[in-house]
Amino acid sequence: MQDLTKGNPAKLIMMFTIPLVIGYLVQQLYNISDTLVVGQTLGVKSLAAVGATGSIQFLVMGFVQGFSSGMSIITAQRFGAHDMNGVRQSYATSIIAGIIMSVILTALSLAFINPLLRLMQTPADIFVEARVFIAIILAGTIATMGYNIISNAMRAVGDSKAPLYYLIVGMIFNITVELILILKFGWGVEGAAFATVMAQFVSIAASHWHISRYTDTLHLTWADFKLPKVELRQHMLAGVPMGFQQSIIAIGSVTLAAAVNTLGTDAVAANTAASKVDQIIIMVVMSFGVTMATYTAQNFGAGQYGRILQGVKVALAMGMIVGTILGVLEIDFGRDLVTLFVGQGQHEVMDLAQLYFWANGPLYAILATLFVLRYTLQGLGDVKTPTLAGVGEMVVRSVAAFSLVVWFGFFGASLANPLAWIGSLIFLVPAWLKVVRQLKQKIATEEVAPEAIQELD
């Protein structure tokens, strides 16, 4: 565990972020292993089938990630306020809420697979494989929810290393089982999906073992699950808006995927392969934002407002520098990475992927700013502004995708992402400037004691 309310903000943010970066890179290997193994062993059509479901996964799994992150903000605030009974109560409530929401999400998502795939204009030659793959992934929603809740709880109390260790365990299991199911048993895309779900259960088991042995703060007993209804309501109110925020963003991605699908199987394959490379960079940049959610929540709980302002400045500088460097590397070397997914000789797919990199690579500094401000506001308990920012991102991405694809083809569709980032910042920047004024006023007047902190308006 790590108390982020004491010590040098720059050092704390960097040391907390590094395990997150590695963890998110490993997490991407879950998806990359699917596309890599599928693309190399089953061919471009199967690769496109898996890729065509990416936006649906984002729609559901994005809600799961946002929902669990929202609840962990409460956990982190209580940890910052040194309310250890409250920390355990928050973790137990998150588990109960996660089970309830998993059942709801699984039932709804499985019922709407076919309509969503048709809405996205999934090509007929990959429709069946895409449906089989995504159905298995969605049936395992509870595994995704479980891992996100337990890993976010560990991060909330300052431990960003343990989630990394057990994610690696799951990743190794995932790749091993995936290869066995596809190459030895000939399961096709079903093998990739089953391996992914089973690996998440392995990560949950390993993480639970770690908590029971090393993290007393999160060590629960049956008594911790005897919760007042107000606890469940509080956590639902924190988690559901953030879940919807992520899903709103995902709707824009579904729309973008639908626009790309109109361009044919090569375009879908190129978008799939390029987006996997792109997601690696996005996860690295996003790590600074995720760090700020925990850092801000802990310091807000402790009444350390000046440290919040310091931390945001540091995180913005770090994120923008890293994003710029990675963008240059993507443009220069991304094409080579695409060959890992589609193999040699797929020149049309590789040319389209390079257009994707030119559209996105130069603007990762903007994305870094988006993530730092969004997660900082969430750490302060503001769910309204990030949700509005998500709506802005969705609208811009959707409109840009279908309008620009008509004029500029695949390159136009690829421009929808950076334009959506700008659309999100239109809401985030003014909200953050308002928060800065509020925090400076609190620092100057010292009217609020740490134990009497309320959420910012």
pLDDT, tens digit (0-9, with 9 covering 90-100), for 233-271: 999 988 888 888 777 766 766 677 778 877 877 888 887
Distance CA 344, CA 342 (A): 7
Residue 221, both tokens: 């007993």
Distance CA 320, CA 302 (A): 28
- Taking alpha carbons only, the member of 380, 364, 371, 360 closest to residue 424 is 371
Distance CA 379, CA 101 (A): 22
- pLDDT of 400-457, one tens digit each? 888 888 888 888 888 888 999 999 999 999 999 999 999 998 888 765 444 434 444 4
pLDDT mean over 77-96: 93
CB 361 within 8 A of CB 414: no
pLDDT mean over 183-209: 90
Q: What percent of the chain has pLDDT over 90?
A: 40
- Taking alpha carbons only, the member of 289, 203, 253 closest to residue 397 is 253
- pLDDT of 259-311, one tens digit each? 887 787 788 888 778 887 888 888 899 999 989 999 999 999 988 999 999 99
pLDDT mean over 189-212: 91
Backbone angles phi, psi at 108, to 5 degrees: -70, -45
Q: Is the pTM of this model over 0.75?
A: yes
Residue 224 has pLDDT above 60, yes or no: yes
Residue 322: per-residue pLDDT: 95
Is the model more confident about 29 or about 391?
Answer: 391
Mean pLDDT for the chain overall: 86
Is the model more confident about 35 or about 99?
Answer: 99
pLDDT mean over 390-395: 87
- pLDDT of 8-19, one tens digit each? 999 999 999 998
Distance CA 164, CA 292 (A): 18
Residue 351: per-residue pLDDT: 83
Distance CA 337, CA 278 (A): 11
CB 51 within 8 A of CB 268: yes
Residue 33: per-residue pLDDT: 65
Query: Band of the pLDDT at 1, cuts 50, 70, 90?
Result: low
